Amino acid sequence: MGVITGLTPGLHINLVALILFSISPLLLGYTNVIAVASFIIAMSITHTFTDFISATYLGAPADDTALAVLPAHRLLLEGMGHEAIKLTVIGSLLCLILAILLSPLLIFSVPVIFNYLKNYVGWLLLAVVVFMILREENLNKKFWAFVVVLLSGILGLIVFNMPDLKDPLLPMLSGLFGVSVLFLSLTQKVALPIQRTTEMVKLKMSDTIKALGSGVFSGSLVSIFPGLGPAQAAVVASQIVGKIGTFGYLVMVGGINTVSMILSLITLFTIEKARNGSIIVVQQLLEKIDLNVLVLFLAIALVAGGIAAFLTLYVSKIFSTIMNKVNYSLLSVLIISFIGIMVLYFSGFVGFSILAVATFIGLIPNITEVSRSNSMACLLIPIILVNVL
């Protein structure tokens, strides 16, 4: 199920977890609550590996892969789509192992960090947004970065305050990071080169260490602080860690998603807070977990992550082979159409309007040559206002 949710834009693990919870009375007639919870955890960990496939090859981002789309897409256009996936797998697997090794320390430190910093999340993110603008090269680019932050932030505020809008992130993030990139590919008449499936990616040791360290750190922030998602954590991490290159960046982003899932289990155990949808379902099933159950779940996550690494690379090779045989312009049109249909299905005509507006905003960074990460203000600004005001 983790492979299916990872490959299907718009199908999230939270939805599957909620379906499982709704039919849990039926399932518990055949199995036990620990088995159902274990299924959800294995699916969730696998999803953090496989969701980069659709983001890389199809340009269809979720909230936890949005910032990976541009560097991964750039490698895809260089015939290195499989290498991009391999880098995220490296980040996911190594950060998963690191997080589990550090779990005894995290069990003791998470409550302390949560109590000390919980009132400063908004100010931290505000500092990140200001830094994102100021880091641009010159005054003209700083101005356009501010424009992108302002427009994206306003869009985020409008979207999150719309009553009865289902799956608001799908149209907004697909427009800002997915459809806008695909439109640019169409206007520039990009021809997709033959994709390589080499068995080696060269990484600088220093960049790898920084990427893994920032991945664990940022993934921890996601699970400790409410409202802070993998995408926002990636923005924070990219500002803190400095230049680590495209390869290192993809390792870091891959690690953040997996670490945040592991830390969600630890926060559920230590401060009884569930920080994402699938872990909330686990909490509803079990109400409370003890140390023995936590150790079991961490072991399940480690096994699932090991299997997911091989599955992700295998599926990526299939995608890479398919991409060699298709017309990329036609594929881009089909993907844009597919995303449009998905948005209409999940979010209706209002969602489709959001997709259109978000796409236009998403074109601005490329036209003005400023960082596309400024568009993450759509998620950062609403959280800042909630926590600061």
pLDDT at 261: 87
Q: How far apart are CA 347 and CA 74, in angstroms?
A: 29
pLDDT at 199: 63
pLDDT at 68: 55
* pLDDT over 70, % of the chain: 86
**189: phi > 0 → left, psi -120 to 50 → alpha, else beta; which?**
left
pLDDT at 116: 78
Q: How far apart are CA 225 and CA 273, in angstroms?
A: 10
Q: How far apart are CA 17 and CA 40, in angstroms?
A: 6
pLDDT at 268: 85
pLDDT at 65: 52
121-176 per-position pLDDT tens digit: 778 778 878 887 887 888 999 999 999 999 999 999 999 888 878 778 778 878 88
Q: Report the range out of 180-194, 269-283, 353-367 with the highest average pLDDT.
A: 353-367
pLDDT at 230: 65
Mean of pLDDT values over 363-369: 86
What integer best gives the mean pLDDT of the chain? 82
Q: Can you give the residue range of the structural domain that contains 244?
A: 2-388
- Could you tell me if 90 and 254 are in contact, meaning their C-beta atoms sit under 8 angstroms apart? yes
Does the global pTM surpass 0.85? no
81-99 per-position pLDDT tens digit: 888 899 999 999 999 999 9
DSSP state of 174: I
User: 296 or 75: whose pLDDT is higher?
Assistant: 296
**Is it the case that residue 117 has pLDDT exceeding 60?**
yes
Question: Of the given ranges (12-26, 59-73, 247-261), which has the lowest mean pLDDT?
Answer: 59-73
Total domains present in the chain: 1
> Each residue of 20-53: b (16+ CB within 10 Å) or e?
bbeebeeeeeeeeeeebbbbbbbbbbbbbbbbbb
Q: How far apart are CA 142 and CA 128, in angstroms?
A: 14
**Is it the case that residue 70 has pLDDT exceeding 70?**
no
Consecutive H or E run containing 85:
helix 81-101
Question: Of the given ranges (102-106, 230-234, 287-291, 328-332), which has the lowest mean pLDDT?
Answer: 230-234
212-250 per-position pLDDT tens digit: 888 888 777 776 765 556 666 676 676 677 677 778 888
**Is it the case that residue 277 has pLDDT exceeding 80?**
no
Mean of pLDDT values over 260-280: 80
**Is it the case that residue 193 has pLDDT exceeding 80?**
no
Q: How far apart are CA 387 and CA 333, in angstroms?
A: 40
pLDDT at 196: 74
